[in-house]
Structure 1
Amino acid sequence: MELLIAIILGIVEGLTEFLPVSSTGHLILTGYWLNFVDERAKTFEIVIQLGAILAVVVVYRKRFIDLFSLDDNKGGLSLMHIILGMIPAIVAGFLLHGVIKTLFSPSTVVIGLVLGGILMILADLKRTAAVTKDLDELTLKQAFSIGVFQCLALWPGFSRSGATISGGVLLGTTHKTAAEFSFILAVPMMVAASGYDLLKSYQYLTVSDIPVFAVGFFVSFIVALIAIVTFIRFIERVRLIPFAIYRFILAGIVWMILF
């Protein structure tokens, strides 16, 4: 039964982590549905998030290697873009960490799903003409501003990718450019956040948990790998509004069931 739960949650994490639908919200809702909500479950969620992170590193491995290039004349996306994109959420997360942990419930997820969906619709309807059509054209100001939008994802259910992609589009990037920056920016952000949470909760792990956690990690990695490649291929055509509609429908269903 636990292996089945690990597979289900691994699929949910891998499929939703980089789509603008809120992986945190889906994991909270799925965890309640499966009655998998104790401290061990929270540690498991951290582990499968690391599986999804690994998928981004594999897909964008050349980009990550280039970020640490010593060639000063290389230009394009740099480590400074990533640092500037991280600063707002790091500061906000540090200051509000205690408050954020109290927000993890189905009711707050419903609110986050709706508010995030509204932002995504506004981004699609009011987007400026795309002047940044490639990651290497992204400015430092845009990187920092997208990082500010990322702070919205501190509310469960809002969606980190939804906030950053919407922010990028509103700031003049293409949907694909915004999505790719969102994915790359996710790696250090999620490693830092997951690492911090794992240090605080590793005591809930036992040797007998290794098979279950390993299955969840592997499933999350494979599914995220497929989701990233597929999403990037279709985002310019599909854009954000269909995902916003899905969020509204999910929020409505959850509200009717739980409230």
Structure 2
Amino acid sequence: MRRWRETKAARQARAAEIVRRLHLAFPDAAAELDFQAPFQLLIAVILSAQTTDVAVNKVTPELFARYPTPAALAAAGQAEVEAIVHATGFFRSKARAIRETAAQLVRDFDGEVPRTMEGLLRLRGVARKTANVVLGEAFRLPTGIVVDTHVKRLSQRLGLSVQTDPVKIERDLMAMAPQDEWIFAGIALIWHGRRVCDARRPACERCTLNDVCPSSTTPSRPAESPFRSAPSPPPGSVD
């Protein structure tokens, strides 16, 4: 991971430019899990751990056709649910997790998916990433920025965070983007990571961010931040 020496103001200006370009590259960026209700998205995100959205989308139609509500899924047999979600991997633990989550929704939230971070984090198997996806995509509530493996990788490659803990990375990103961009920023970084900035072979030559990315391998990558001349932070501020 490379990182330019730049002021906080310069890094924020560069982050704003990154978001602007992502809007141009992925204007329709959204969660790629199929869902028709918040409950379906919540369950789909839990199932997406250690697998692809494509794999999840293949099993959820049958899952939600048989168990369309939290009450129905909570009452389902473990073996029956395991058989449906088998293709997503770790099927025993995932089947148990989504059944217990459904039971919690029925028991603690009257069968409704909570619309707050605090409420979602009470659910089994739900951490901030899952909660941010649900709040952002199902309810359009910008409470944070989704940080998955792609966002973690891109945040470091782009020099937006040196942290490795997802919560700390999220905090860094939230400080650099206005709240009304939080939902888009997380999802767009995921799209960019899946389509361009691959973990092993990033396609820097066709990346729309290659001149604002300190890790770019293209000849056009500047030696210093293109925003290095941005105004310095006020005296006494912390970089």
Q: Which is richer in helix?
A: 1
Structure of greater relative contact order (alpha carbons < 8 Å, 6+ residues apart): 1
TM-score of the pair, normalised by structure 1: 0.26
